[in-house]
A and B are shown apart, each in its own frame.
Chain A
């Protein structure tokens, strides 16, 4: 049977863990999305060293397990004199992991814009970066929002892995309370509900933003069909 007292006694502590998870994830996303944009542009660059570096970075972080990346960050960085607390290592690892996926999403979004858009921008005298900023990237926003949201939710769930390097985030706190109380059911229900509440909040905010974006302008049919392709190729929620 459920022991309701556990909820009252330990919820404040669990909430503390939730607060750290929230802080870590917000930092990781704030770092990860700009880094993802830089990587996406880097991968498309004509300058080979840059595109090689961006591609290697993306493929490395996309194709290895997150928990291994976390271990590498946590145990290897100190060898090179970079001593960071577990929380900061966690933020870096999450940001690096997330940025690889963000980069691929943004790249797919850029590729979905018809080639003529870039050509017309270049033909009128805009530099590569001016064309991206004024013409291409604004058009990709409505395309990449749904998969970016998706990846953000995944990132939040992946942050549970940081418990393995002693970050006292939500999952870690749950494990500790569980060890103290031997009541896994009550404890992990609280933990699960908090993850769910966070993700659901983000998802519903993003749904509203997406709707506003698609209402703001009627979209070009070509772009629309490409959105469907992207959505159906595994990014769908």
Chain B
């Protein structure tokens, strides 16, 4: 494992008067699976969105494979904008609300960005899309419109859409939170395959079971700060801070 595949250095972000992120540092090695947990509004989604600059931070740097994503001065030049788009093409993002494209069928959802962003020929893009849709278990839904898919199927389609871009890093923002309980499993099993393939992932999740089994590291955030981070066993079994203890207690209460 190479150290410092992704470096998040001193990220700050304010929304009005609220500190969404405060001096956040995070190092991620290649192939590492980081699960970010924390109460709602703690900034975990914002942290994820600063990595691909969907929400540009007020200050701080995000460095992927030694190169700065976005800019560290706040202003973007034309070249930085282009390189940002190139970065984003290699950083897969999966949203809580799926955000599949309803005017395109399942196949086209996976094909379109390959053609538009990576300039791949249609034949090749379709071949790849079919292969990936097969892998996420949507083989017989290729011609289907997103509106006719279940939540779990939509989320798997969204994951397939990202995978078609050959991502080197995946950002998953509560990928199972909008799903009916019986559909969570099918999405988690796709994610499990990704973990086994060695994909580097940042996952904001409430699935502590998944986090403890497949996460290499759990990061606990509260009020825009990283409070504790470490391997799942230490974080979940022996929390050091009061806030994490409280949070874990609440979670186990609700799961009763």
Q: Which residues of A contact B (CB under 8 A)?
A: 114, 116-117, 119-127, 130, 134-135, 138-139, 217-220, 223
Name the B residues within 8 Å of A139 (CB-CB). 101-103
Give Cα A139–Cα B92 distance, bound, in whole angstroms. Answer: 23
**Interface stretch of the complex, out of B61-69, B109-117, B121-129, B209-217:** B109-117
**B54, A119: Cβ atoms under 8 Å?**
yes
Known contacts A125-B89, A134-B116; is-contact A219 B102 (Cβ 8 Å): yes
CB-based nearest B residue for A125: B89
CB-based nearest A residue for B86: A125
**Any chain A CB within 8 A of the CB of B95?**
yes
Q: Please name 12 further chain A to chain B contacts, defined as beta carbons within 8 Å, in addition to the given A123-B54, A124-B89, A125-B165, sorted by A numbering.
A: A119-B95, A120-B101, A120-B158, A122-B88, A124-B162, A124-B165, A126-B113, A127-B85, A139-B103, A218-B147, A218-B148, A219-B147
**What's the minimum C-beta distance from A130 to chain B, rounded to whole angstroms?**
5
Give Cα A114–Cα B54 distance, bound, in whole angstroms. Answer: 16
**B101, A135: Cβ atoms under 8 Å?**
yes
**A217, B99: Cβ atoms under 8 Å?**
no
Give Cα A176–Cα B85 distance, bound, in whole angstroms. Answer: 62
Give Cα A124–Cα B52 distance, bound, in whole angstroms. Answer: 10
Give Cα A137–Cα B117 distance, bound, in whole angstroms. Answer: 17
**Any chain A CB within 8 A of the CB of B177?**
no
Name the B residues within 8 Å of A217 (CB-CB). 102-103, 145, 147
Name the B residues within 8 Å of A124 (CB-CB). 88-89, 92-93, 113, 117, 161-162, 165
**A119, B99: Cβ atoms under 8 Å?**
yes
Name the A residues within 8 Å of B101 (CB-CB). 117, 120-121, 135, 139
Which residue from A120, A126, A134, A135 sits with its C-beta under 8 Å from B85?
Answer: A126
CB-based nearest A residue for B101: A135
**What's the minimum C-beta distance from A48 to chain B, rounded to whole angstroms?**
15
Q: Which of B112-157 contact A (CB under 8 A)?
A: 112-113, 116-118, 145-148
**Any chain A CB within 8 A of the CB of B19?**
no
Give Cα A120–Cα B158 distance, bound, in whole angstroms. Answer: 9
**What's the minimum C-beta distance from A73 to chain B, rounded to whole angstroms?**
38
**A218, B145: Cβ atoms under 8 Å?**
yes
**Any chain A CB within 8 A of the CB of B29?**
no
**A116, B95: Cβ atoms under 8 Å?**
yes
Known contacts A126-B116, A130-B116; is-contact A220 B147 (Cβ 8 Å): yes
Name the B residues within 8 Å of A130 (CB-CB). 116-117
CB-based nearest A residue for B167: A124
Name the B residues within 8 Å of A220 (CB-CB). 102, 146-147
Q: Which of B69-98 contact A (CB under 8 A)?
A: 85-93, 95, 97
Name the B residues within 8 Å of A223 (CB-CB). 102
Give Cα A30–Cα B94 distance, bound, in whole angstroms. Answer: 40
Name the A residues within 8 Å of B161 (CB-CB). 124
CB-based nearest B residue for A124: B113
Known contacts A130-B117, A217-B103; is-contact A123 B88 (Cβ 8 Å): yes
Give Cα A125–Cα B87 distance, bound, in whole angstroms. Answer: 7
Name the A residues within 8 Å of B147 (CB-CB). 217-220
B91, B97, B101, B103 interface centre (most CB from chain A within 10 Å): B103
**What's the minimum C-beta distance from B106 to chain A, rounded to whole angstroms?**
12
Name the B residues within 8 Å of A114 (CB-CB). 97, 99
**A125, B103: Cβ atoms under 8 Å?**
no
**B117, A126: Cβ atoms under 8 Å?**
yes
Give Cα A126–Cα B113 distance, bound, in whole angstroms. Answer: 7
Known contacts A218-B147, A220-B147; is-contact A123 B102 (Cβ 8 Å): no
Q: Which of B144-191 contact A (CB under 8 A)?
A: 145-148, 158, 161-162, 165
Name the A residues within 8 Å of B102 (CB-CB). 139, 217, 219-220, 223
